[in-house]
Amino acid sequence: MTQRVSTGLGKLDAMLGGGLLPGTLAVVYGATGIGKTHLGLTFADHGRVTDGARGLVFDMNGRGDSQQHDEYAARLFGWRLTPWTHTVTPMAHPYPPAAQMDAYYSNAFRWVGRVRDFQVPTTDGAYEFDWTWKATYNHALYTVRPFVYFHFAAGTRRVVVDGVEPMDAPADSIQFFLFDELYRKTIHRDAETLGMEICLPVPKHREFIDRHRYDHAQITTLLLVTTEETRLEDLLARKVATGDLGATANTILVMGSERVGTRLARMLCVVKHRSSATSDEIVEYRITPRGLEL
């Protein structure tokens, strides 16, 4: 039987047939303030219990820590979300200072808006990324890739990506583009290849690379996407647009509000959980001083 990845919420794990499947992508859709960040931080912190290491928190919001990650993590889990700052340029000393291994937060990708905002027209009428932007992006990768690699090498097995803003056409979103690049080329890059790209020259660091191999197919990613829709019914009726990562995700959760009598209740349900038994139940939850409670 496949070992499940616990979300840290017993009721949600039960709805998911025991939890998320390792190595898959789960997408959570919901309006701002609905509790996605609480869910994401619970999932990340629970890695401390099940994996021996907390998950990574990757904030893609260009306005900084507007999601209140640091405040929530400190209050709910006594967890100080120290930002990762260690940068490894080609042929530089790769290994992070010991204190950086307690840094599980990064907001190195601060770009928001449309892909076209970062492109320039070519002579044949097409578009390509502006060279200045590409240079800035590649410099950010010198921080992002070591952030992922050294934590995975130390035992981290889960990633939370937050701060993805609404976009009418997801395929036009620079955030969706950046996440797709991050997911395919870093999170799910095999450990040896990624290690050889960061730890240069390879012969000098060969022993470290070989001793710290991990199975990238066991890394589970939770992507939190903000929507314009707030009502649960509208989220359930939401069409999958071109470029929407939910189309290829293994699991989709939606979090929305509905009127119950004289109050507005928050509701959660599992829309898709591919290759696994799942519950069709719609569950009410509350955001309390202790976090998310179903």
pLDDT surpasses 70 at 276: yes
Flag whether 76 is in a domain.
yes
Domain encompassing residue 249? 23-253
- 43, 224 contact by CB (below 8 A): no
How far is the C-alpha of 104 from the C-alpha of 55, rounded, in Å?
7
With respect to residue 121, please indicate whether it lies within any of the assigned structural domains.
yes
Residues 215-238: tens digit of each pLDDT? 999 999 999 999 999 999 999 998
Q: What is the pLDDT of residues 20-47, one digit of tens each?
A: 999 999 999 999 999 999 999 999 999 9
pTM metric for this prediction: 0.95
What's the structural domain count of the chain?
Answer: 1
Which pLDDT belongs to residue 103?
A: 98
Residue 108, domain member (yes or no): yes
pLDDT in tens, 70-83: 999 999 999 999 99
Task: Kindly report, residue by residue over 252-267, the tens digit of the pLDDT.
Answer: 999 999 999 999 999 9
Are 219 and 159 contacting, i.e. CB atoms less than 8 angstroms apart?
A: yes
Say what the alpha-carbon torsion angle 246, 250, 255, 261 is, to the nearest 10 degrees. Answer: 120
Q: Is residue 285 part of a domain?
A: no
Q: CA separation (Å) from 290 to 286, 287, 294?
A: 10, 8, 12
Answer yes or no: is 209 within a domain: yes
pLDDT score for 65:
52
Q: Note the pLDDT tens digit of each residue in 199-220.
A: 999 999 999 999 999 999 999 9
206 occurs within a structural domain? yes
Please report whether residue 77 resides in a domain: yes
Would you state the torsion angle of the CA atoms of residues 192, 216, 29, 81, taken in this order, to the nearest 10 degrees?
Answer: -70
Q: What CATH number has the domain bearing residue 219? A: 3.40.50
Residue 73 falls inside a structural domain: yes
